[in-house]
A and B are shown apart, each in its own frame.
Chain A
């Protein structure tokens, strides 16, 4: 039987999704007495709650109850947070509101229409307070304060020094620096949040169905907030999730809110978020200000970097934040060999929607200043940007490469990848074309970006937010464990249970491919179950779908679990055939002896023996075939006393070249061509791989050109519909060319690395570099996003050089 790992086989998920038989959260059945929820939300960014009048709303026929923060708080602890600042975050406002959209009251009614009718009759009296949304102003002493008990809007601050940055900056020919602003944007899956929650008083247990996909460390956070033992919070994730891109990790405050609503109302409750709620009050990416300084030699070699990064986590810091700042800590110096590094990291809270995971998480915020400064270095030294990148890329012979901040880049050939990008995009020819176009009054530009794509997060990295002394006071965290269970039923058919909560990434397909290869059975015969149930699945604190961890970790758990099954099957066969296990080979579901081909035994019979005739098994062997494997990579150690941390397991590489033309009349940026080269180790399914890359790239394109969760300077939210929050649609997509090189990872058994987030990290800066390059004759320097026609137009108008 031909192996299928590495082949572009179509997906097993597709048939049900194409026929309307997907089972998303809003499609699964509810108990007969389920009530529906509508949430009354704050219209103000910052205000104290004076009173909430619910009497009129309670009179609406069909209303079962209305609850406010004061009713809820008695059942809850604040959510625990990953920093030492005593921020009290509840899923509903208690005394004051801190962002537009924050829940204030919950209406529980017979159906959603009635709940919404009644929600309109709830009258909340506020006393407005001055709001703050500007990152740097929020740090000033006289800034409006969000959390009085914290005493400052700064939730966390840490400084790091690796190598000898002082000498690097002293010995440099030049210091090149700039300040960059990365915007707040989102991911907007087409399916919004959805929850069914049920409280059972007899066992004091909450059961919650939700399209929440982890990380499952948040299960413990939720149980802590609900004041119950963690095994009294059962979370069931449906097999189909309608997209997430990280955003649905933020579902958890609403899971807790619905859980309490069910308890108070005395019936199961269901809540499906609407689009305005999703945009204003679900979760989002993190906006960041970065002050970056590079110590450089005249030849473009970077000797050291200083970065002051200030992340705005919105009104409350909530798990897994401040991870946006630290997920990329090991790869802060990107694809470059820069041994000297200083990082000054701040987390601030302002009157905006709280943040969380989003595709690329931390990568786009990191690479925007890093890759922009590389281009600035070239500009200031009058070098070709491609040469500056070449001078600094990590050399192929240096792998595995140890980064300044503790990362271990497992494998790669960055020089080959980058040269392939330039050759594919015909870089030199484009430069000639650009020169000619400029003479004709056209505005052409080319942008480059080289980035390292981390995948499979180390559970220990978030503790870098604490000082070594603070960390020493609690138990260390490490690893990146993921589990899979494979069973064979009495008829020899295979079920695979995974805990990686996919939301469209095709985990069922790839798991079936892996098991098919290991057990040598057709993948069509393998049933993969992706529902996760914290009461019955094998899962770990790290489980879930984030940090592109399936290809590196989930697949490894499946691979080793399949090997456990294979081992048992071979033991049974060897026992019956009176031979040794290493004499046996599986071919098309038949086990044969290599030394005596007449000796054979079917897989079906081996499995059957384990169920029907356990007394025939080798001595001491357990009946049945049901094997679970928990996998972790051993290189995921806790941070050490010098704050060195290998924050991810595998590190892929992406080299982008993008060409743009800007219309001088409308200031619209048109992408002419986008070339992207990926090295994600061994590819498990190239069809799915390219699908992930297209999706990630277009999300990055949205971040570069269209998407922003915009607030005015008083904190009012401006982008509450898809008419205001612009997502890329089909006509906006440029020509995209994807190429791969495959440098296998030595860390994972299949040689695979995670992917799918790389271009979300690289595209915003690659496009910004192209636009900046295009506008060089006008002395325009891009340092913020998105690059809307309005923004470019204003820059062109204020430019001193005429646009003729």
Chain B
């Protein structure tokens, strides 16, 4: 099996690696780069657990090959918080009990992070539809929705304060 040399950035760190063309991005992130916060739940693009952000777009890393990310910039769950401080979104997941076993959580955080960056004022129904790309079997989605909604509300409040 032939290999390719790829160069990419994950959470601001540079990686230069030799990979087989068939290596999934999810396996590459976990096994080659050791970033085990990205989880693999179904490997057919339904559960959403493996979601990462590639060049500013949330993607399922089980449906991409590592070689496709040559030259790209990737963010994983490990890249959200800085110096051990949770981001407001992460903090709200904690406060609203938006996670139980935590296995689906990194994927949901990445999707929510990407979605809120592009849609600062979503309706509850829109948030539910965004979440429909993720399976969580612990929470019944209630705490997750509350956490994301709280983040939206806080962001709005922040925008108002900054604007005034």
Contact = CB atoms under 8 A, between A and B. Distances in A.
Interface of A: 10-11, 13-15, 17-22, 24, 26-27, 113, 187-192, 240-243, 245, 272, 274-275, 503-506, 687-688, 690-692, 694-699, 721-723, 727, 729-731, 733, 736
Contact of A18 (B20, B46, B109): B109
A20 B93 contact: no
B139 A694 contact: yes
Contacts of A24: 36, 39, 103
B101 A19 contact: no
B138 interface: yes
Contacts of B86: 15, 18-19
Interface stretch (B53-61, B125-133, B152-160): B125-133
* Secondary structure call for the A interface: loop
B136 interface: yes
Given A275-B41, A731-B129, 16 more contacts: A10-B97, A15-B94, A18-B99, A19-B78, A20-B37, A26-B40, A188-B135, A190-B104, A191-B41, A240-B101, A242-B41, A243-B138, A688-B97, A691-B139, A695-B138, A698-B141
Contacts of A506: 100
B49 interface: yes
Nearest to B11: A20
A699 B137 contact: yes
Interface of B: 20, 22-23, 30, 35-44, 46-47, 49, 76-78, 80-81, 84, 86, 90, 93-95, 97, 99-106, 109, 125, 127-129, 131-145
B39 A191 contact: yes
B20 A245 contact: no
A360 B62 CA distance: 32
Contacts of B134: 729-730
A192 B47 CA distance: 12
Contact of B135 (A11, A13, A722): A722
B142 A243 contact: no
B100 A505 contact: yes
B141 A733 contact: yes
B136 to A, nearest CB: 7
B102 A17 contact: yes
B99 A17 contact: yes
9 contacts: A18-B93, A113-B20, A187-B137, A190-B47, A241-B101, A243-B100, A696-B140, A729-B132, A730-B129
* Secondary structure call for the B interface: loop
B140 to A, nearest CB: 3
Q: Give me the 3 closest cross-chain CB pairs, A-B, nearest first.
A: A20-B37, A242-B103, A17-B102
Nearest to A278: B42
Given A24-B103, A695-B140, A722 B46 contact: yes
B97 A733 contact: no
B83 to A, nearest CB: 11
Nearest to A24: B103
A191 B42 contact: no
A691 B143 contact: yes
B94 A695 contact: no
B36 A20 contact: yes
A243 B104 CA distance: 9
B155 to A, nearest CB: 18
B119 to A, nearest CB: 16
Nearest to A27: B36
Given A243-B138, A687-B97, A731-B128, A275 B43 contact: yes
Contacts of A243: 100-101, 103, 137-138
A17 B105 contact: yes
Contacts of B43: 274-275
B105 to A, nearest CB: 6
Contact of B46 (A10, A27, A245, A723): A723
Contacts of B44: 275, 721-723
A731 B132 CA distance: 6
B103 A191 contact: yes
A730 B125 CA distance: 9
A505 B101 CA distance: 7
Contacts of A27: 36
Contact of A189 (B94, B99, B103, B145): B103
A695 B100 contact: yes
B135 A190 contact: yes
A733 B124 CA distance: 12
Contacts of A731: 125, 128-129, 131-132
Given A18-B86, A18-B93, A19-B78, A13 B36 contact: no
A441 to B, nearest CB: 26
Contact of A722 (B20, B47, B103, B132): B47
B143 A192 contact: no
A403 B104 CA distance: 41
Contact of A190 (B39, B125, B144): B39
Contacts of A190: 39, 41-42, 47, 49, 101, 103-104, 135-137
B138 A691 contact: yes
B135 A14 contact: no
A687 B100 CA distance: 11
B68 to A, nearest CB: 17
A113 B1 CA distance: 11
B139 A242 contact: no
Nearest to A502: B101
Contacts of B143: 691, 694
Given A190-B137, A242-B103, A690 B97 contact: yes
Given A191-B41, A731-B128, A736-B140, A504 B102 contact: yes
B100 A730 contact: no
A142 to B, nearest CB: 41
Nearest to A192: B41
A722 B46 CA distance: 6
Contacts of A730: 127-129, 131-132, 134, 141, 144-145
B65 to A, nearest CB: 12
B106 A695 contact: no
